[in-house]
Structure 1
Amino acid sequence: MIPDSLKQLLSHVDGHQRATWEGRDVALFNMAWGEMAISLQGAQVLHFQPTDDTGWLCVTPTPQALPGAIRGGIPLCWPWFADERYADESPERNGPFHGLARHAMWRLDAVDDHAEGIEVHLSPEERLHSQLTARVVIQANAQRLNVEIISENIGDAPIKTSGALHTYLAVNEAHQCRLEGLAGARYLDKLRGFAESEQQGTLAIRGPVDRIYHTNEAVLLNDGQRTLRIGKQSSDSTVVWHPDSDLPSDTPADAAKQ
């Protein structure tokens, strides 16, 4: 859910403007179609709420001090996810967990505002990788939020990369959540030593979950009050993660339900 401090900033916005939240430069949008907040550290969507709906994302009210990453919203994991940097033979291979993008400062290159929604373009202020470039395009309207990472290899040799949109979805009650669209998919269960299994039917959240599903299909998330469709392109895996009561230290105690 949205922190009160960020909600208060948005309440004073009519249209879109820049502001500072928890020491970070943010772009705020309060439009006819809804609200959105983007941190320019990490080009990270922190909040999205269509008009006549509740927020789709949750974010910690107490993020780590800069240059620490923000837990919540949609962190960009690029050009590697988790520890996959070890497959990268570039000079940047010893960088931080989940990649370089979420710690970097990004510039707001363009905002295309129209009656139906908005399109925001961002790029890093400094080169993040010797062989790769990245830019981000965010599209939002009253029915849809789309985040795209566009990566280009400008070097002479092939390079292995990975990435993720590490989305923290806000739900009414985690233990009421059901995910459809995973049936028949093979997955690795990180809580069982990466044991491989096949999903049987609908996935119901009843406790901690940390799985990597090998699928490119869209998923429907129903929390008992609404259903969100989570689609993707150019991705062959879906991570389902819910820590339950084993929460990270920078997460509020009541987040286990959300």
Structure 2
Amino acid sequence: MDRQAYTKSCSPPNDNQAPMESEHGTTPVVQNRDTQSSPTSPSVDNEPLISLEWSLNPSAHSSSNETAPVLSLFLTLHARIPITIYNEHLDPSRLLSEGRFSIFDLTTETEVPQAKSRFCDFEPPSKVHVPLRENMFYTLYPGIPTPLRTSFGRGSKIRPRPKEENQEGDGSKQAMAKGVHGLAIGHRYRLTIRRTGGWAPVRWWEYGEREEVINPPTGRLDGRKVAYRRAQNPHDGLPVDGSGLVPILFQCIE
């Protein structure tokens, strides 16, 4: 394996890069690799671990901006060789949609109610074909942060409106905040993650890079088995350390 792939700078990439849309709203920006990884598993003493960090750019959102700030979640692998994960719950767009983030108004000292969506992950009947969702597979490289980005609003194509312009008082989902959408001009906020019991492990993962994992010598992965047959996962859950997700302070201005 080319060791140079793992000695490059591990500093987070430029957050000014625009988010790209995917199934849940984002596509991770991953540097191209020309290295080959070994599918051999490391020893038990070197079990992989993912640590998380995040950022919001810019930290001052102007009501005149046509786009919302970019929320970036950085996944860093602590292991000896690359692994590929099936990413179900570390997508910042899905976390935002599910209301997993807490926005606290420091000006009024109140929690900001947010619109929430629910994702149902039930296995369909056996006669229904379950395709392999290739866009859910991401390769993580040791010590190199992999960024997943999303618009911190109602979407990258929807202009975020301040509270003063948003629908008021009707209690509808459209009137509620999502990211900077629906927040008050001149107020300061604190962004945190709602995780009382820690982060759940990454359910499905395998040693190696994306293409060799999706298309192993034994044949292409089965979409139904990967998505729903937990008893057939190749490994136990991969631990996730979210202690690096320190509160983010931001503000909404004219």
TM-score, length basis structure 1: 0.25
